[in-house]
Amino acid sequence: MRVHHLNCGSVRTIEATYPGLSPAPVVNHCLLVETDTAGLVLVETGLGLDDVRDPGGSLDADWVAFCEPALRESETALRQVERLGHDPSDVRHVVVTHLDVDHCGGLPDFPRASVHVLASELAAALSGSYGPRYRPAHWAHGPRWEVYGPAREERWFGFDAMRVRGVPELLLVPLGGHTPGHTGVAVPDGERWLLHAGDAYYYHRELGEHREPHPLLDVIQTRAEVHRDLRLGTHARLRELAATHGDEVAVFSAHDPWEFARFAAPTAAASPGGTS
């Protein structure tokens, strides 16, 4: 199994809260996983071809105005899969942390893939009750949904977890609070695990011993939350995981550019837009 870290959609540039880090565009941190038996697996898709070619047709205008997405076709997951030498039709599975606008815009680019999502998240996205955060254009093609209920299948470092159907090496690890069905995705990577925590937190210093949120990103995550106590409880559990199992599990979020840079290789086979 080989894991590539991809940035599938840069948005507005932000500054860190301490010296030593240069300002950087917020990222959409996705994974491309090459498996031995299940083909290619994407964890998240970021923005897709339709989003960058016709943002007015698939993205919310207010979101575009605030986030200032770069809208580069070269950053889409499909183009990065191609640059890595793969046929996009070999992407057989897409695992999403949730269905917000910037996390699943590439679903139409992989119409044959099974899309793995928590049942409560899919129900919320299809309900029309949560405003512009969910964009029907992203699933108008009729994805092959693989839906997961709340039942606990096993424990993973103290968290409930469910095996991804067809890719049992990967685990869904529910991390509630941001959306009705938000989940992390655990991926084995050599002798350690990766935990893609999605939007369970936004900034690396939130997982430090003395929690330090980012002034802009914290406003965004607070406004987006659907359950504050659950979200803050998820923060606390992730901080504990990082503190007690940091040598076994590497936790990262979806949008922190400096966190992404730590996982990204210095020379990128997928450049521009992503790394391996």
Would you say the C-alpha torsion 117, 173, 131, 72 has a positive or negative sign? negative
Using alpha carbons only, give the angle 86, 90, 94 rounded to the nearest 5 degrees.
110
CATH number for the domain harbouring residue 212 = 3.60.15.10
The Cβ of residue 274 has, within 10 Å, a number of other Cβ atoms equal to 30
Comparing 164-168, 189-193, 215-219, 268-272, the range with the smallest average pLDDT is 268-272
Comparing 80-94, 130-144, 159-173, 218-232, the range with the smallest average pLDDT is 218-232
pLDDT at residue 269 in the model: 43
Q: Does residue 18 form part of some domain?
A: yes
Q: Does residue 78 form part of some domain?
A: yes
Residue type, 214: H
Q: Does residue 237 form part of some domain?
A: yes
Comparing 46-50, 57-61, 92-96, the range with the smallest average pLDDT is 57-61
What pTM, to 2 d.p., does this model score? 0.94
pLDDT at residue 164 in the model: 97
Q: Does residue 214 form part of some domain?
A: yes
- Are 100 and 45 in contact by the 8 Å Cβ rule? The answer is no
Q: Does residue 276 form part of some domain?
A: no
Comparing 77-81, 145-149, 211-215, the range with the smallest average pLDDT is 211-215
Helix (H, G, I), strand (E, B) or coil at 240: helix
Q: Which long-range contacts (CB under 8 A, 24 or more apart) does 210-213 make?
A: 211/235, 211/239, 212/17
Q: Does residue 269 form part of some domain?
A: no
pLDDT at residue 110 in the model: 98
Reported as a single tens digit per residue, the pLDDT across 178-231 is 999 999 999 999 999 999 999 999 999 999 877 888 888 888 888 888 899 999
Domain that holds residue 28: 2-263
Domain count, the chain: 1
pLDDT at residue 224 in the model: 81
- Are 121 and 129 in contact by the 8 Å Cβ rule? The answer is no
- Taking residues 233-252, report their average pLDDT: 96
**Is the confidence at residue 266, as pLDDT, over 70?**
no
Reported as a single tens digit per residue, the pLDDT across 9-52 is 999 999 998 889 999 999 999 999 999 999 999 999 999 999 99
Q: What is the largest CA-CA distance in the chain?
A: 47
Q: Does residue 112 form part of some domain?
A: yes
Q: Does residue 275 form part of some domain?
A: no
How many whole angstroms separate alpha carbon 171 and alpha carbon 148?
A: 11
